[in-house]
Structure 1
């Protein structure tokens, strides 16, 4: 049973990186403020919100992933691209699929649209990739975006040197650069992938989750409280401004009303608009402009490389990382973003007499921009409920001719990259089922002005509802190919600063 407060200054719905960003910035800039954070899922790692990869015991790590799978717990999961090869509709460990409503008749839909329900959200399971947006990915009406991205790097603990000691990492980048870099600006050339990860003195990698964003400063803040297994069913609105939230304690089923001066909804790109809809907050753009990043993956075996030396074998017998993580940035001329990293094994069987140098199988992934469409959307029912008792979702989603063209170009490009790196494995690349990127955006999109095509303004405050802010990938208004978390955190920093400034005068 949770002991909820009667009132707080700020109520935050969701404990992912952007919800954690609001708590962190408010702690730093308005230390007198009281903050309550509500998460529908359980605490699965320590400190709360930590990445499950940091759990060294494999059995405990699997248990944490299972507990993150909400209504889907117990279902079979599969690591990609296995789901593509098998043709099965399965979630990845730590996530669960939308049970129905993911594909309307005659539409492409998002067959593997997925969620996580746990403290830390999807950041307890993500790859940690934090590239910066470029070209048309950038939001033109945010003048301080670069400074915000710098601060987002700080909160997420982004580094570029965690894999510098990997013996194949420079080789992979050199081979990619030979076919990519010509004619590109320096910032768009092949480079190390910025990652929310650091390496400890003992050599072990530590992946950032919401725990890193919160930091010791927030955890030690006496005015901050985190409540897990707590479902926010609606936002209270009085006289045109947010007044608090209604929370259902999932351990007892009891509902509680918590008053708040400010409410931040940072549930995810599908559940944030769901909470607003359930609250009767229904601007025309809510749930609209939904976009996912279509994803093409392939693999190659590095040629002309030597096996790892004895000093590259960890004490446990596990291999150290060999090829690191490389980044092929998005450009408007090549409208996809590339993430190239080591695979633990070949995605297709190899002959027994065809030995593979450990660490020499490299996975290549290209994420494609989406042609933004008003009718690509998530709708919510006024009569049907989901497994949490919230308005049921139904996704409407189509690929346009332009989307198919970009996908065709990505397939051709990834074959060229695989050949540059080494020997392609398999006859052709895989096209992942829609929804596989987990990078859903646009459903609570930001706008420069209240023109009916956006849900919130440049500070993430919802149009027409003072004191209500939205956060997460859904706020991003542009079509992106790069991983969106860094951008979402940057936008959350801007919103949190706005709240902190207002609270300073209360």
Structure 2
């Protein structure tokens, strides 16, 4: 699947190898198998198979190396995996990511101090928590009548399950205690439940986390017309007569520049670098980079009451990724505008406490994500002069929290304490609010719209307004304010765009 000799042309060029780019490759391989597809990724291949989740690498040293190689210009910088880094206020990225080095905050604004990226085959899909909840209420895109069918398809591509942790000794305890705390005021769909996860458990008990490798699937890997080029920076999209006509690529191994003609171009670089590529290409619709939104992440920790070691040690033999307490989901509602994710602490994105010696798995991390009030002025700007570590236009993030945002965050803190007490004994008096950018769920910067009214960048098929043949993909396409993990939704939107390209290819 990996290749090095650049082609002169391809029917479809895909920029970025994360789950969304992989979804385009998969759907096109299924629906248009004769179409030639060239995928370009700025980062290296860090796993076998390419695009696999690094959590599936059993050797700890090899896993750490894969994470370090994913950190692009930030490689070898200290990360948040060091104990206490987040709560002590240190500005660090998570293992496998690197921070925006400057331009992350403008004076007088909150900014996004820990805005981060991953540069590797598989993108952030090699490092994510694999949570795949569906959007509810105002999170949903109301102008897409086929949204539920698209979400079904996204679940197929990501291999989503809800039973991977059914045998975990404390999973039922956590879920039942949360249900007692939240279900009375909710309908069945919104009650505390198993988190849909892009993960399954092998027969030997070890967890397998879905990355882009799972989205690619055997059909893409077997597609002779598909090729993946790593360490290849797409510097701009080319146009001819206003239509996308190809890309310019710099081989990071040799520094040579290549032009690849294409009938269709899909930019799936991530929530900040996708608009960057368009800007560098001179494609600058009014809404480009605008309506940028992140999800504030508020975290807490609690020790489960009245639990025994029991089978916890047996589950732990499955490896470092075992979860004695499972993963429980408290869905977003418009009345309670936050999304809850409760899991064993050592699987939480950020360490919240030292290892507890009493009962393995007895400390759970509780997290609530809050939906951001959308604002036109929340945006990422790009420079015509300064450049980043890759030589692309430097970014400046403008980002402020509204009075409504602060009110919702305070409600979330109160709710988190209540939930922490429901499941056990809290380890802290007050939840900790992560710095802006910590969720890694950057949305809106190339947002979808029903019409070309200047407030969106792309159509319901993800095709950029005014530039036929150019499609965008990723969380950045989601036009609504969401609190739930956005990957399932963005992959669903990628399915819609890929189907349109396949239909046009005939």
Q: TM-score range by the shorter chain?
A: over 0.9
Change (3 A) 1:318 1:477: closer
Q: Which residue of 2 aligns with 1:502?
A: 504
Deviations for 1:42-82, whole angstroms, at most 9, x for unmatched residues? Answer: 00001100000000000000000000000000100123883
- What stretches of structure 1 of length at least 5 have no aligned partner? none
**Aligned residue pairs: how many?**
501
State TM-score, norm by structure 1.
0.97
Q: Which residue of 2 aligns with 1:170?
A: 172
Worse-matched range after superposition: 6-15 or 177-186 = 177-186
Q: Post-superposition shift, 1:311?
A: 6.9
Asked if 1:469 is matched to 2:471, the reply is yes
Q: Which residue of 2 aligns with 1:264?
A: 266
Asked if 1:41 is matched to 2:43, the reply is yes
Asked if 1:122 is matched to 2:124, the reply is yes
CA distance in 2, matches of 1:503, 1:29: 10
Question: What's the C-alpha RMSD, in Å, of the aligned pairs?
Answer: 1.5
Report matched runs for 1:354-393 at 5 Å: 356-393=358-395
CA distance in 1, matches of 2:346, 2:289: 38
Q: Give the match's secondary structure for 1:404.
A: helix
CA distance in 1, matches of 2:320, 2:271: 37
User: Aligned to 1:68, which of 67, 70, 89?
Assistant: 70
Deviations for 1:443-480, whole angstroms, at most 9, x for unmatched residues? Answer: 00000000000000000000000000000000000000
Q: Give the match's secondary structure for 2:200.
A: strand
Does the 8 Å contact 2:313/2:360 carry over to 1? no
Q: Which residue of 2 aligns with 1:347?
A: 352
Q: Give the match's secondary structure for 1:86.
A: coil
Q: Give the match's secondary structure for 2:185.
A: coil
- What stretches of structure 2 of length at least 5 have no aligned partner? none
Q: Give the match's secondary structure for 2:5.
A: coil
User: Aligned to 1:398, which of 400, 411, 428?
Assistant: 400
Q: Which residue of 2 aligns with 1:300?
A: 302
- Runs of 4 or more above 6 Å deviation: 316-319
CA distance in 2, matches of 1:310, 1:443: 44
Does the 8 Å contact 1:134/1:331 carry over to 2? yes
CA distance in 1, matches of 2:317, 2:303: 26
Change (3 A) 1:429 1:80: farther
Q: Post-superposition shift, 1:306?
A: 0.9
CA distance in 2, matches of 1:425, 1:402: 28
Report matched runs for 1:127-206 at 5 Å: 127-206=129-208
Change (3 A) 1:317 1:475: closer
Deviations for 1:10-61, whole angstroms, at most 9, x for unmatched residues? Answer: 0000000000000000000001100000000000001100000000000000
Deviations for 1:354-381, whole angstroms, at most 9, x for unmatched residues? Answer: 9521110000000000000000000000
State TM-score, norm by structure 2.
0.97
Does the 8 Å contact 2:312/2:361 carry over to 1? no
